[in-house]
Amino acid sequence: MGHDNTPPSGAWRDSLPFAVWRTEKAVSRVVDQNLSGLPVSTTQLGCCVTIAENGPTSAAEIARHFRVSPQSIVAAFAKLEEGGWVRRLPHPSHRRIVLFDLTASGIELVAEGRRGMGAASVQVASGLDPDEQVMLATLLQKVVVASGGADLPGSAWPVDAPHGDS
């Protein structure tokens, strides 16, 4: 008879992966609600936010930043370019590398996205005091790294909190 790796009754719901999974689903719903008015996906918005933070960037650099395939980022950029939110620029020293930069519409898109993410942040963090928010963010980043994700400096999603909230 083989070993039964089934956790004891109740352990599934008490496990850290299950708690993180439930949290991810709940937070995703809040983020989706707050970004639902935008004409782009969360991935596409993330690409634009990265360009806003770092300046003109190649698709390969953004793929490395988010640890996704270059093909998925190229597809995201195709839609962003088609929508008029990004434009292609030649690399100053490497002819084969194409950089993407935000257009005026892209800059406004990022501003709208930051406002939406700010509202989502306020809603998600409403049950936590400021110290708990910092602690939770730190602990979640440790979980990301332990799971093979990138140890990103600072926030990958800078947000603008609604006025009156901090």
- Residue 15 backbone phi and psi in degrees, to 5: -75, 150
Whole-angstrom distance between the N-terminal and C-terminal Cα of the chain?
Answer: 57
Assign domain 39-146 one CATH number from 1.10.10.10, 2.40.70.10, 3.50.50.60, 3.20.20.80: 1.10.10.10
Q: What is the DSSP letter of 22?
A: H
| Cα atoms in the 13 Å half-sphere on the side-chain side of 22 | 7
| Cα atoms in the 13 Å half-sphere on the side-chain side of 156 | 16
**Domain assignments of the chain as residue spans, ordered by start:** 39-146
Coil, strand or helix: which one is 57?
Answer: strand
Q: pLDDT tens digit string along 1-44?
A: 455 666 556 688 888 999 999 999 999 999 999 999 999 999 89
- Residue 21 backbone phi and psi in degrees, to 5: -60, -50
0.85 exceeded by pTM: no
Coil, strand or helix: which one is 112?
Answer: helix
Q: pLDDT tens digit string along 84-109?
A: 999 999 888 888 889 999 999 999 99
Residue where the block lists tokens 């100053």: 92
